[in-house]
Amino acid sequence: MFSSALKSFTSNISSNYSISPNPSSFSGPWKIFDGKKKSTGKAVSVFVFDKKSLEPQGGGLGPRSSASSLKRVHEEVIERLKREASNLARLRHPSILELAEPVEETRNGLMFATEQVTASLAGLLLEKDEQEKAGGRGGRSSRYVVEEGDGKGRRRRELEIDELEIQKGLLQVGKGLEFLHESAGLVHGNLTPEAIFINAKSDWKISGLGFSGPGENSNKPTSLPAISLSEVLNHDPRLPRSVQLDLDYTSPDFAMDSNVSSAADMFSLGLLIIALYNSPHKSPIETNNSLSSFKRVFSSSAAVPSQTNNFLSSAPVPKDLVSGVLPRMITRRPAQRLTAREFQEAQYFDNILVSTIRFLDSLPAKTPNEKQQFMRGLPRILNQFPKSVLEKKVLPALIEEMKDRELLALILQNVFKIIGMLPSGKRSFTDRVIPRLRDVFLNAPASKAAVQDRDSAKEAGLMVLLENMNTVAENSSGKEFKDDILPIIIIGLESPTHSLVDASLRTLSAILSILDFSTVKNELFPVIASVFAKTSSLGIKTRGLEALQILCGGTTDSEEVSSDGLDGMMPTKPKGPSTSILDKYTIQEKVVPLLKAIKTKEPAVMMAALSVFREVGKIADSDFLAMEVLPIMWSFSLGPLLNLQQFQAFMALIKSLSSRIEQEQTRKLQEMGSSTASAATNSNNFNSFGATANGNSSPAGVEGDFESLVLGKKSPPPGSADMMDDWGSTSVARPSVHRAQSQTSNAPAFAWSTPSSTPASRQPNLAPPMSTARTITPDHSLSTFASLQPSSSSANVAQSNYSQPLQLSRPGTGAGLGMGMSMGTMSPPPLPSTNNILTPSPNPAIDWSSASKAQANPWHTSTTTSSMSSSMARPQQQQQSSFALPPPTASPYSSFGIAPPPQKPGGGGGMGMGMANGASIQGQQGAQGGNQKQGMDKYESLI
């Protein structure tokens, strides 16, 4: 393998360049490797000659050959090859192969580096022959491959040769010959397809200057020796044909006249042109490198290429070449031949495409006005160019000219049009355009003038870039876009020029698909939010709202119309993002505050904000919509500048969001209510004395068992009537469910207590059991309800707590007293409560002495008693109900003078239930019969 032999070529080139292990192409005795300079990364081609290739290949030596003569011949070949590389260093021209590293001689051969080349013209023609034999271009794989830049593999080189490529290449060769003949005073001497290389830009470059020398009539000073025709014309069988003069492309001036002139190169160029169109692609003269065969061919006119025999080409030759160019090049007399300058002016090159290429080649020498006119007219003919010419010739020339700021905008317009036309546009854009854009917009040093005044030319170029962001996104990878393109967009967003900011915001729908969520949220969105918050332009404000709408998952495509499918047209797919780009937290905490901070009431801004609210409503939580979004929308909808249609648009969205909130809240409450599936079906359970917290009756013994468990006491047997301690004890009355269920009589029972013999801190709590269920408010419009005055000095009751009526009373009858008399019991005064539900008041609002004036209750029936008992339970079910009642008189019993009966075991059930359900308060309520009207007036004045 030659790759192993390459390692033995130790030189400065092999140390400073990374060289591919396999050759990419061949040209004569040279093997060409792709290389890259380690310090700069510049791509080059490394030409390597192996001395072992000069060794005879089996029987090449004659019997009289000696080792010394063979060595001398080899040395002459090596000197000629070294002179070939040295001439490249001496001759500098766009059509001459550019030398990157001078030739170095190693122990095993020679090595030098040039600009990167794709192949030689001979290799390209051989490729075409093999493709034609295999049945077309796609019949076989190309043997010309290139290593990928990232080292991940190899790809086929795109090698094409069409009419325009040939025209362009021949024109460049003509320019190179003109330089050699007129400026350098040299004759090439061996102009063959092996001596012409095609570089990465698809330019044809002249090389193979090993046989070059001054012409006979040249007066140009040169250090090169004259061509020794006697040595170069005689073929040496001991040497490979690749290191000897190729007689198939040699002029008869050399072989028959021994005349060295520039006209000889023009004859060779004519044979080369025929080879380009011939099939197979070779010279029409075949001599087998024999001088005698060459002379025999030119002794017969039929064997010499001419217009009569179609120049011995098996394929058609273009008419312009047949009629005006080849007859004046392939002619026996040198004086009748075209010069290199005349060759470039031939009718064959007179077309718009070739003229465009010629203008591109001379573009640096044109005036600014000519450059601008050329760039404006170039887009009209770009579609006429072959794709290979666009990629390898036109695009590189335009990118190179981007250093001219005045032409930046015009050049970028052509660049983006070319990228859109190329099938391999992504590779070209990544390899060539992006690095140049980075240099122009990101890495360019800021001049003092640019700091003081805005660079209008650069801004114009930036505007073109932003307008073509769809093309940029389609031809960029995510990492390249984030690293190189996104910073340019941010420059546009932060620009003081409103048109640039507007164009940058309009690119959002194109770039979101290529950026990841973290980049959008942390790098792009903060810039957009800052621009939106700080701008004073109405247009930027509206455009910013459109950007926020897209970030929330919306689209601004006006052509996106929902279709029901009845019109026979396919529904249009949305072009924008279909899902939210930002997360819900960012939308609620960042986007909505931006909308809330809008000060202007312009209809355009309001309607753009409405579109954002519409997207927010699809994502945000219902409670956030209710508390944050709807108030803002109501404020915007009432703007003084909105017309009827705009207001109705706001109302439609408000109603839609409100309906969503209502549905979600209803569903939430239904799900919460489903956990209480054992709810009572009887609505009267809300008024039962044994109701649980949610209004349902507890099973017998559950509540008592729980209290006994947590208090560490034994639960009473099921047959016990009460759970209270003895009279005057410190225990609190706890109504049990079995007592509430045993209440079958219509007359309520009362529990007695002695306030004078029990300390305030140990008095039983007469408050009703706390309930978490809904409560109902008594109907205060009835005239039969008594009213209580608010406590004026209670320290534990808030000022806003008012006394509430406790039970129904009839005017003038003393209902409370009559009820107590009819049931055979009297209600004792209320005791101080430890939970501030009943608080002693120093200013009694009830005349306790009037309670002794008992009257007969004319309505004392079982029905009335039952209804009154039900009404007494209503105010006790209210949570935190506070009543301020004055303490009783100093009597140890009550103002009625009746002593409480002794407590009997198991017999205080009715009395205990009355105590637990506020029967004592009922007696106090009845004592106010005489002050009914006055109390109602005071209550109404308070409420």
Q: Which domains does the chain have, with CATH numbers?
A: 12-55+68-134+159-217+228-349 (1.10.510.10)
The DSSP bridge pattern shows strands 883-885 and 838-840 to be parallel
| Residues counted in the chain | 943
pLDDT of res. 709: 65
Per the rule left: phi > 0, alpha: psi between -120 and 50, beta: everything else, 591 is alpha
Q: Which two tokens stand for residue 410?
A: 């015009």
Q: Which residue has the tokens 């699809």?
A: 618
Give dist(CA 340, CA 175) in Å, integer. 7
pLDDT at 910: 41
Distance CA 168, CA 94 (A): 13
What are the tens digits of pLDDT across the range 840-855? 444 444 444 444 444 4
Q: Report whether 747 contacts 865 (CB < 8 A).
A: yes
Rounded to whole angstroms, the Cα distance separating 95 from 115 reads 12
pLDDT digits (tens, 9 = 90+) for 737-784: 344 344 444 444 444 444 444 444 444 444 444 433 333 333 333 333
Distance of CA 328 to the CA centre of its chain: 63
Q: What is the DSSP string of 338-384?
A: PPHHHHHTSGGG-SHHHHHHHHHHTGGGS-HHHHHHHHHHGGGTGGG
**CB of 355 within 8 A of CB of 325?**
no
Nearest to 440 by CA among 471, 398, 503: 398
Give the DSSP letter of residue 691.
B
CA atoms in the 13 A half-sphere facing the CB of 164: 20
d(CA 935, CA 943): 13
Q: What is the DSSP letter of 714?
A: P
Segments in the chain below pLDDT 50: 1-2, 59-63, 137-156, 447-452, 558-578, 678, 680-700, 702, 719-884, 890-897, 903-931, 938-939, 942-943
pLDDT of residue 907: 44
Using CA atoms, how far apart are residues 483 and 523, in angstroms rounded to an integer? Answer: 12
Cβ–Cβ < 8 Å for 374, 363: yes
In this structure, which amino acid lies at residue 867? S
How far, rounded to the nearest angstrom, does the alpha carbon of residue 12 sit from its chain's CA centroid? 47
SS3 for 424-472 is: CHHHHHHHHHHHHHHHHHCCCCCCHHHHHCCCHHHHHHHHHHHHCHHHH
Residue 701 tokens, joined: 């013994």
List the structure tokens of 148. Answer: 């990928």
Q: Taking a C-beta distance cutoff of 8 angstroms, is the pair 778, 875 a contact?
A: yes
Q: What pLDDT is recorded for position 660?
A: 93
Structure tokens at 490: 């941010």
pLDDT tens by residue, 484-501: 999 999 999 999 999 999
Q: What Cα–Cα distance (Å) separates residue 26 from each residue in 107, 113, 250, 562?
A: 21, 14, 22, 62
Residue 293 φ/ψ, nearest 5 degrees: -65, -40
**pLDDT of 836:** 42
At 440 the three-state DSSP class reads helix
Please say whether the beta carbons of 489 and 507 come within 8 A: yes
Residues 688 and 738 sit within 8 Å (Cβ to Cβ): no
Strand, coil or helix: what is 788? coil
Ramachandran category for residue 202: left, alpha or beta (phi over 0 → left; psi -120 to 50 → alpha): left
| DSSP collapsed to 3 states, 481-536 | HHHHHHHHHHHHHCCCCHHHHHHHHHCHHHHCCCCCHHHHHHHHHHHHHHHHHHCC
Q: For residue 717, what pLDDT is reported?
A: 53
Measure the CA–CA gap between 214 and 224, rounded to whole angstroms: 7
Coil, helix or strand for 199?
strand
Is the Cα dihedral 811, 816, 822, 826 positive or negative?
A: negative
- Check whether the bond before 280 is cis (ω within 30° of 0): yes
pTM of the model: 0.61
Per the CB < 8 A criterion, the answer to whether 787 and 936 are in contact is yes
Please give the pLDDT value at position 889.
52
pLDDT computed for residue 201 by the predictor: 80
pLDDT value for 707: 65
Using the 8-state DSSP alphabet, how is residue 553 labeled?
Answer: T
